[in-house]
Chains A and B, each alone.
Chain A
Amino acid sequence: MSMAAEERNIRAPWALTAPALMLFVGVLLIPLAMTVMLSFHDWGQYKGIEPVFILKNWHEIATDPYYAEMFWRTFRIAILTTLLTALLGAPEAYILNRMDGRWKSFFLLVILGPLLISVVARTLGWALLFGGNNGLVNKLLMSLGVMRSPIPFMFTETGMVVALAHVMMPFMVLSVWAALQRLDPQIENAAMSLGAGPVTIIRRIIMPQIMPGVLSGAIIVFSLSASAFATPAIIGGRRLKVAATLAYDEFLNTLNWPLGAAVATLLLVALVLIVVGSNALIERRYAEVFR
């Protein structure tokens, strides 16, 4: 190969990826860098944003227990949501996988269908059912005399976890479903022929093999739940804030952009560390299944 051709070969990938790369840099990297920089700026009620380099916002987040509580709540909700989707989603995917062809595609559609509807609409659905005295379910239960006061759902962490789990469920089901597709169709028969009962087959043969699917689904659900905005905003509102709604409030209500930027940056860094860390752990633990 001539030198010129070789040089062309080196340049070609760069030239071909340039448009996408520029878009990536323009709409993601630059705003991200600006947000990080913003978090070091100063802000005052009357002076607005001052482009200086100080650690005031970071110091405030680190020392004020209000922020610690906020982040702890964010991750607590994300973890509980992840657990709930895993506990319901994994069996759901397994049952789905064992269904007959026609039912399988129908129920797959039922599970994936909600993805076509906006998160806001789906969350508002919960608010319609359980929102205070006017919620449909609450009205029904109270008129039947089952309950005296409405079920505490709105502005509670439980409500937020339930609504988030509902929104995130398709991601978990899809992820476990993908893992189930990799299973040898004869593997259950093989275990059965060796004398294993149904519970043993699920516990010893199926579970370990779909675990990578459950865990990668968990990473998706966890990171989406921890950074979710619409559902916490509707269910929790101003009363029960999480990191994302907090950053939003700092930006748009308090107008303290630098503090909001610091909250957003911290959330991003924490999420990246958690996701990358658990991903590495999973890949090492399940190296044999992933191959």
Chain B
Amino acid sequence: MAYLELDRVAKQFGAQTVVDDFSLSVGKGEFISFLGPSGCGKTTTLQMIAGFLDPSRGAIRLEGKDLTAIHPAKRGLGIVFQSYALFPHMTAAENVAFGLEMRNVPRAEKAERVRAALAMVGLAGFEERHPRRMSGGQQQRVALARALVIKPSVLLLDEPLSNLDAKLREEMQIELRQIQRTIGTTTILVTHDQNEAMSLSDRIVVMSQGKIEQIGTPQETYERPASAFVSQFLGKTNDFAGTIDRTVAPTQLVAGSWRAPAPAGLGGPVTVSIRPERIGFGDTGLSAKIITRIFQGNHWLFQCDSECGPAIVIRQNDGKAQPAEGDAVRLTWRPEDMSVRARAGA
């Protein structure tokens, strides 16, 4: 049974629908990411779970109980805010202890849990420090400890890493994942960073303009994007216009001079999407000319002008000779590496 369930949740501000028909089942202990560009409704959805906003339609259930009927202060969810929202007039220990105080946890137990929570996030010895005397990364850890010390049923993370620099962000991602695995708290992360969503989550909910585009594991969403939006948003992708030719047997999928047996169930004009790292240079296939070649250490990045429009190719730096700028090449890929969608409007 689903632990946390969102059932056709929608939110409207006036005439504007910010979130529409949002349904999701979260299993206990799962790490879910809401991924999408800003304004896609991911934070609004999180705030509805937290209770800072009421859904216009739909239901949110936690262990089968209606969550929207419970006051936000009584929901027992742990939340880490983008700005951390630490209490600047309290020390790190006082910040972490606040939630326990509200629950009337006895003094000795409270002290022990605060100590353990701060130790868990690697801040042992920082108990008496005030937030404004801490670095961004440390503040973020205090915020995490404060949210986790109350043993929340669900941990909600609202872009918690977006204020950190790239290196620290990577460290915190690993740490966040480890902590979440250790204590097994069901977690929902809101982010616009696809790398963050992919490296942290069990499943990703890709959102655009208030709607769910796809729900799936990081690998599924990357390799089998359900829509053009998902394939564009999750990493780089090449979209080629192709057609399915039913005049020959067996039916063929044709994109320029590249052809392969057509997948079942589609006909007419289609869009073929291939990740740049899945394209190779071969003897047959899409003819193209290399416009620029960029060396990026562990890989080469080629920008090509193909007969189906611009194409990006990434080749691993395996020590082999690579084509040079201006070379005419043939682009080829395995049929199982591409996703084919009916082309809209054609």
Contacts and interface: CB of A to CB of B under 8 A. Distances in A.
A193 B133 contact: no
Q: Which of B72, B81, B88, B98: most chain A Cβ within 10 A?
A: B88
B89 A184 contact: no
B87 A186 contact: no
B85 A187 contact: yes
A55 interface: no
A185 B84 CA distance: 11
Interface string A156-194: 000000000000000000000000000011110111111
B130 interface: yes
A289 interface: yes
B50 A189 contact: yes
Interface string B69-105: 0001111111101111111110000000011001100
A186 B81 contact: yes
A194 B75 CA distance: 9
B50 A193 contact: yes
Contacts of A209: 87-89
A191 B103 CA distance: 13
A184 to B, nearest CB: 5
B150 interface: yes
A194 to B, nearest CB: 4
Interface string B138-166: 00000000110010000000000000000
Contact of A193 (B77, B82, B83): B77
A205 B87 contact: yes
A196 B77 contact: no
Nearest to B50: A193
A189 B85 contact: yes
Q: Which of B72, B89, B133: most chain A Cβ within 10 A?
A: B89
Given A195-B73, A195-B74, A200-B102, A186 B132 contact: no
A285 B331 CA distance: 70
A193 B88 contact: no
A160 to B, nearest CB: 35
Interface string A190-208: 1111111100100011001
Contacts of A186: 81-83, 85
Interface in B221-259: none
Nearest to A288: B130
Given A200-B102, A288-B130, A291-B132, A191 B72 contact: no
B54 to A, nearest CB: 14
B99 A194 contact: yes
B81 A195 contact: no
Contacts of A204: 98
Interface residues of A, number: 22
Query: Could you tell me the dominant secondary structure of chain A's interface residues?
Result: helix
Contact of A189 (B78, B81, B133, B147): B81
B52 interface: yes
A187 B83 CA distance: 9
B150 A195 contact: yes
Nearest to A194: B99
Contact of B103 (A189, A192, A195, A208): A195
A288 B103 contact: no
Contact of A288 (B83, B85, B88): B88
A102 B81 CA distance: 27
A196 B88 contact: no
Interface string A87-126: 0000000000000000000000000000000000000000
B63 to A, nearest CB: 18
Contact of A196 (B50, B52, B98, B132): B98
A133 B50 CA distance: 60
A267 to B, nearest CB: 35
A203 B74 CA distance: 19
A290 B10 CA distance: 41
A209 B87 CA distance: 9
Contacts of A291: 88, 130, 132-133
Interface in B283-319: none
Contacts of A189: 50, 52, 72, 79, 81, 85
Contacts of B102: 194-196, 200
Given A196-B98, A200-B102, A191 B87 contact: yes
A288 B150 contact: no
B179 to A, nearest CB: 19
Contacts of A286: 89
A58 B86 CA distance: 54
Nearest to A197: B73
Interface in B81-137: 81-89, 98-99, 102-103, 130, 132-133
Contact of A208 (B73, B83, B89, B150): B89
B87 to A, nearest CB: 6
Contacts of B88: 209, 288-289, 291
Nearest to B77: A193
Contacts of B150: 194-195
A191 B89 contact: no
24 contacts: A184-B83, A186-B81, A186-B83, A189-B72, A190-B79, A190-B85, A192-B72, A192-B73, A193-B77, A194-B98, A194-B150, A195-B73, A195-B74, A195-B76, A195-B150, A196-B98, A197-B73, A200-B102, A208-B89, A209-B88, A288-B88, A289-B89, A291-B88, A291-B130
Cβ-closest 3 pairs across A and B: A195-B102, A194-B99, A190-B85
Interface of B: 50, 52, 72-79, 81-89, 98-99, 102-103, 130, 132-133, 146-147, 150
Given A189-B52, A189-B85, 10 more contacts: A184-B83, A186-B82, A189-B50, A190-B87, A194-B150, A195-B76, A196-B73, A209-B87, A209-B88, A291-B132
